Structure 1
Amino acid sequence: MRIGFAGLGNMGGRMTACIVRAGHEVLGYDVRPENIAAAGARAASSAGEVTDGSDIVLLSLPDSHVVEAVVLGDDGVLARARPGQIVVDLSTAAPDSTVRLHGLLAGRGVAYLDAGISGGAAAAEKGTLTLMVGGEADRLDEARPVLELFATNIFHCGASGAGHTVKLLNNFLNAIALSATAEVMVAGKKAGLDLEVLLAVLNASSGVNFATLNRFPRIIHGDYLEGGLTNSLMLKDVNLYVELAARLGVAGLNAAGPVATFGMARALGYADRISNTVVDAIGDLSGGVRLQEKP
């Protein structure tokens, strides 16, 4: 199976590198040509050229606006697609847009799978991501050997749009856990607590979450796990969840916290920094607090 990849940024580049390390050639396109070379891919001049030269096309793009531009552009995926191909969208995107693109590509005999990813840059680097996939199960089975080159958990979540819906639900919980834990850690620092002990207590108690287990044990020593989701992208994901909840008629009672927190981080200059730096933004408003001791 010939493999193509459009969008070789923080996540796409790492996934591409996993495929290349497994011995496969990847035809890649990115607006930054240096990303293609860094991932070890062979360069294409457009998403259309990637599509023309591939049996399976993987997308990893910032949002639905960019996905639609790449798929629907004059030299995009749809323009060069042919029957039997599989397109896997690994972006975090609006489910309504996903379903629309699925229908357009289906009209050309092309499968469009929406595959939300979880695990961050570290899992992408190691090839241990979790994928939540929407679309036809039989076409997922065809794509699975390629997806398993960078993912260890692959869940079929339902029809088109289901994968991106599950991704938004997961990212909303992730945003709540990260923003709330950041606030708690700043409070612990100002209270004079030993942060190692605080985390040990939280991780043995009912406050345990992904951030207490995997993020803050490194953040308190100055390692912010650079390379993952930025504060701007986290805010985008939370807002997509808010739109989804409104469309479904679900009372979005818990969205105000992460919307305010990541919006504040963006306003304070942390927009393009990894979302873990939200703790520093909270610290800025709390008297210049930093969790780690200055050397």
Structure 2
Amino acid sequence: MSGQRVGFIGLGNMGGRMTGCLVRDGVAVLGFDPRQENVAAAGATLAESAVDVVRNADVVLLSLPSSRVVEAVMLGDDGVVRAAHEGQVVVDLSTSDPASTRRLHGLLAERGVAYVDAGISGGAAAAEKGDLTLMVGGEQEALDRIRPVLDHFAAKIFHLGSSGAGHAAKLLNNFLNAIALSATAEVMVAGKKAGLDLQVLLDVLNSSSGVNFATLNRFPKIIHGDYLKGGLTNTLMLKDVMAYTDLVAGLGVASLHSSGPMAAFGLAKALGYAEEISNTVVDAIGDVSGGIRLHDPKEPA
């Protein structure tokens, strides 16, 4: 599909960065976001509405906070489904409920429109660099058609299977991310209270069996006061953990480890860190552990 027109709905934290990658590579993007400044910041052309995007694009990309928001944009008299036209491809880059995804896939298929679910991983930094990993569900033919668009912001693209498979994989990945982050936060607070040098502790963990994404990529920054602003919030992390529990319950799988991250990110939300990056879960744990902070603000970062 050469010369395809690209539209983007939801140019927030992640959508704006993905749009920026497209624009920097010379792709003209028609964008819509409730905050018009997000569209301008990403370098996209401002659309009047989400429907305006759909009517004027061959490939429509969505990056929205939840399935509830996706359904609000997709359904109804002024929704994406009614405005979509035959031969179009709609790509949901959100973290969505696989069951909802399959339902929307069916509604769009009736109109001759392909619906691809593409869970993303890598966070704001990878989105900025165009280095995301995508977990895709839907027809292979549809993925092949839109791959040239996705390649502008994704370094790795995996096809997981039929509709909903990409979003299911995304929830599984996010759950492991939530466990690694919340458990490492607890360990680092304990290390601080035990009087350990946190940089040396991280060196030990990263050379031992406790190594994980958080020890490798998050806490080397956090212990120096850099919380890597711009990533998933505590509210969204909690939402993803709850979505994971719904998914595995429907599959008949016992979820024996969900209570930990649910408690940790629930605590962060309750203590006022709801819209802060989820890395601040370490401060929430520190708050209830004697007011501990890994980094002394008086020290240089």
Aligning the two structures, in what range does the TM-score lie when normalised by the shorter sequence?
A: over 0.9
One-letter amino acid of the counterpart of residue 35, structure 2 = R
One-letter amino acid of the counterpart of residue 128, structure 1 = D
Measure, in 2, the Cα distance between the counterparts of 1:201 and 1:73: 54
Measure, in 2, the Cα distance between the counterparts of 1:251 and 1:272: 30
CA distances 1:223-256 after superposition (whole Å, capped 9, x unpaired)? 1000010000000000000000110000010000
User: Counterpart in 2 of 1:239?
Assistant: 242
User: Counterpart in 1 of 2:40?
Assistant: 37
Q: How does 1:271-286 map to 2 (within 5 A)?
A: 271-286=274-289
One-letter amino acid of the counterpart of residue 226, structure 1 = K
Q: 5+ residue gaps in structure 1?
A: none
Preserved CA contact (<8 Å) 1:46 1:75: no
User: Counterpart in 2 of 1:113?
Assistant: 116
CA distances 1:195-238 after superposition (whole Å, capped 9, x unpaired)? 00000000000000000000000000011000010000000000
Q: How does 1:140-155 map to 2 (within 5 A)?
A: 140-155=143-158
1:47: Cα distance to partner?
1.0
TM-score (norm 1): 0.99
1:154: Cα distance to partner?
0.3
Measure, in 2, the Cα distance between the counterparts of 1:73 and 1:197: 56
User: Counterpart in 1 of 2:79?
Assistant: 76
Q: How does 1:11-90 map to 2 (within 5 A)?
A: 11-90=14-93
| 2:117 aligned counterpart, secondary structure | strand
CA distances 1:91-141 after superposition (whole Å, capped 9, x unpaired)? 000000000000000000000000000000000000000000000001101
| 1:156 aligned counterpart, secondary structure | strand
1:74: Cα distance to partner?
2.6
Preserved CA contact (<8 Å) 2:119 2:166: yes
The correspondence for 1:223, drawn from 197, 222, 226, is 226
CA distances 1:57-83 after superposition (whole Å, capped 9, x unpaired)? 000000001000111133221121111
Measure, in 2, the Cα distance between the counterparts of 1:71 and 1:225: 32
Preserved CA contact (<8 Å) 2:92 2:118: yes
Preserved CA contact (<8 Å) 1:46 1:76: no
One-letter amino acid of the counterpart of residue 253, structure 2 = V
Matched, 1:194 2:186: no
User: Counterpart in 1 of 2:185?
Assistant: 182
The number of residues matched between the two structures is 295
One-letter amino acid of the counterpart of residue 228, structure 1 = G
Measure, in 1, the Cα distance between the counterparts of 2:239 and 2:264: 12
Moved more, 41-50 or 211-220: 41-50
Preserved CA contact (<8 Å) 1:61 1:91: yes
User: Counterpart in 1 of 2:6?
Assistant: 3
Q: 5+ residue gaps in structure 2?
A: none
Measure, in 2, the Cα distance between the counterparts of 1:153 and 1:294: 38
Measure, in 2, the Cα distance between the counterparts of 1:73 and 1:204: 53
One-letter amino acid of the counterpart of residue 106, structure 1 = A
